Amino acid sequence: MSEEKRPAPGVRRLIQNYISFVGLVIAFTSLACIFLLIIIDLTRETENPYFGIVTYVLLPGALIFGLLVVIVGMIRERRRRRLDPDSELSPYPKIDFNDSRQRRIAAVMLISTFLFVSMSAFGSYQAYHYTESVEFCGKACHSVMSPEFTAFQVSPHAKTRCVDCHVGSGAQWYARSKLAGTRQLIALMTGSFSRPIPTPVHNLRPADQTCGHCHWSEKFHGAKLKTFNHYAYDEQNTHRQIRMLISVGGGNPNTGPVSGIHWHMNTANEIDFISTDEQRQAIPWIRVKDRQGNVTEYYDRNRPLAADQIESASKRRMDCVDCHNRPTHIYVPPDAAVNQSFAAGRLDPSLPYLKRESLATLTRQYNTTPEAVSNIASHLDQFYKTNYSDVYSSKNSSIKSAITEIQRIFQTYTFPEMKTDWQTHPNNIGHFYFNGCFRCHDGEHVSKTGKIVRNDCNLCHTVLSDSAAPRPTVNTESFKHPVDLGALADRKCESCHKANAPFQHPINLGDISAFQCVECHARE
C-alpha cells in the first residue's frame, strides 16, 4: 500500500472533522426548526411579530452559516491531508459518473441543492412580505415604535399598511427605505435612537405618490359640517357644542370651481416655503405661484430673512402633509381626548368635576406608564371617596368605568418611556393647540406690495351654531371666545392652549395663581 497511491478522500471523509461537525449540527438544527415553524405558521390563527423574523430571517441565516462552517471545515481538512507527505491528493476532486457511487452522491447533491434554493426563495419571499407588514413595523421593535403603533391603531388610516405611506411603490424607494432601516436597526441595537422619534420624516416621498393614490387632490369637496363638543371644568362638566361649516373646497379650474382650504393643493397653484426649525413650525418666507403664473413672495415682518438667507435656504414645495402632518400617528391632547370620551358616552358627565380631575391626573409628569396607570386610579378613586361620598357609593360603577377610560386615554396617547405625547408632535390641522394654519395665516406675512396673508376666521370656516350663545344662529362674523378676554382678545388660540410647556396664564395672577380656572371663568 505504501507504493500505491492512496485514494482521494471522499466528501464523507472530508466532513469528518470537528469544524464541519459543528456546522452540520447548526445546519440540521436550523433546518428542522424551519420546517416545524413553517407548519405552525400555516396552521396558526394569531399573528406574532417575532414568528416571521425567526422563521424567515434568522433561521435561514443560521442554516446558511452552518453550511458555510461545513465548507470551511472541509477545506481545512483537505488542506491538512494534502500537506501529509504520505498522501497524494489531486488539486480538485475527480468526478466519474461511470461510478455508481458518485452518481448517487451527485443525485443527492442536486436534489439537496434544489430543495435548499427553493426554501431560500420561499423564505426570501416571506421575509420580504413580512418586513412590509404592519406587525413588523409596529411590533418587532415595540419598545421604540410603541407610540407610533398604538396611535396608528386608533387612527383614520388604521387599515392602511405602514409601507404604503412610508415607502410606496418602486424599487428606488424600496431600496432607500431598507437602507434607512439598516441605520435604524443599528440605532436600536446600540440604544442610540431618539426619544421621542423625531418628525416630520424629511425623506418621505411626495404626497401625490402616496396619499394621492387614494385621495383625489383635484376633487371639489365643497364645505363640510364639523361638530365640536367641549366640556367645561366646572362641577357639572357643562357641555358646549359648536357646529361649524369647514370650507374644504378644492377643485380643478378645468372642470369646476376652485376655492376653500384645498386651494393650497390645487395642481395649478404652487406654494414654496422656508422653515427655520426641524418641525416646520416657524415659516418666515412664502412664495405663491398661481395658475396664471403670477408669483408673490411673502415675508414675516417679525422674523425677516435677508436676501442671502433666502437664496441659500432649503425650500419645500407644499403638499398634503404640511397641514395633514398627523394623518395616522395622532397624539390627541388630553383635553380633546376627554371631550371625545364624554361625547361618545364612555364617561359619565354626572360625576362632579370629572373633566377637571381627569385632566389633573392625565397632565402630570410620570416616569413610566405603570406609574401613570396606578396614579390615575388612586387619584380619581380618592377624590370621589373624600369629596363626594354619596356619589362614590351610588355611582361606584361609573367611577370605575371612568378610571378605566382615563387610563386608556393615557396609554393610547402618552408614552413616558419614549418621552412622547401630544406636545412633542405638533398637529397642524386647525390652530387650537398649535400654530397650525397661523404659521402662515397670522396677518404678519406681507409682500413687497403690501399684500397680506390674512388670518380672517371666515376664510376657512363659518360658525353655524353655538350652544353657549343665547340664540344659536348662523354667525357670519369672526369666532367669539366664550369668555371675555378683554385686552387679550387679539391673542391666538395656542398662546393659551399651547403645548411644550406647562400652562402659564397670560396675565400675572400673583396670589391667586393657584386658583382653579373656573373660579374666575365661571359660567353665568
- All three cell numbers of 138, joined, read 409596529
- Supply the pLDDT for residue 360: 93
- Supply the pLDDT for residue 413: 94
- Supply the pLDDT for residue 281: 92
CB within 8 Å of 221: residues ≥ 6 apart: 248, 249, 250, 260, 262
- Is 434 exposed, middle or buried, given 0-12, 13-18 or 19+ CB atoms closer than 10 A? buried
- Supply the pLDDT for residue 214: 84
CB within 8 Å of 34: residues ≥ 6 apart: 55, 59, 60, 63, 119, 123
- Rounded Cα–Cα distance for residues 459 and 366 (Å): 41
- Supply the pLDDT for residue 253: 75
Tell me which DSSP letter residue 204 carries. P
- Supply the pLDDT for residue 92: 55
Contact 402, 383 (CB under 8 A): no
Run of H or E residues at 78 = helix 59-82
Q: Which of 420, 410, 32, 23 is nearest to 199 (CA)?
A: 420
Q: Over its length of 524 residues, how does the chain's per-residue pLDDT go in tens digits?
A: 444 444 455 556 677 777 887 888 888 777 777 777 777 666 666 555 455 566 666 777 788 888 888 888 888 877 777 776 665 555 556 677 788 877 887 788 788 777 766 766 666 666 666 666 777 777 666 568 888 888 888 888 888 888 777 776 665 666 666 666 666 667 677 777 788 888 888 777 778 788 888 888 777 888 899 999 999 999 999 999 999 999 888 887 777 777 888 888 776 789 999 999 989 999 999 999 988 889 999 999 998 899 999 999 999 999 888 999 888 889 999 999 999 999 999 999 999 999 999 999 999 999 999 999 999 999 999 999 999 999 999 999 999 999 999 999 999 999 999 999 998 999 998 888 888 899 999 889 999 999 999 888 888 888 888 887 765 555 555 556 655 555 555 666 655 655 444 445 555 555 444 445 544 554 43
Q: Which of 250, 307, 277, 265 is nearest to 434 (CA)?
A: 277
Backbone φ, ψ for residue 214 (5° rounding): -115, -35
Ordered alpha helix ranges (H), 224-353: 307-312, 334-343
- Supply the pLDDT for residue 335: 93
Contact 15, 97 (CB under 8 A): no
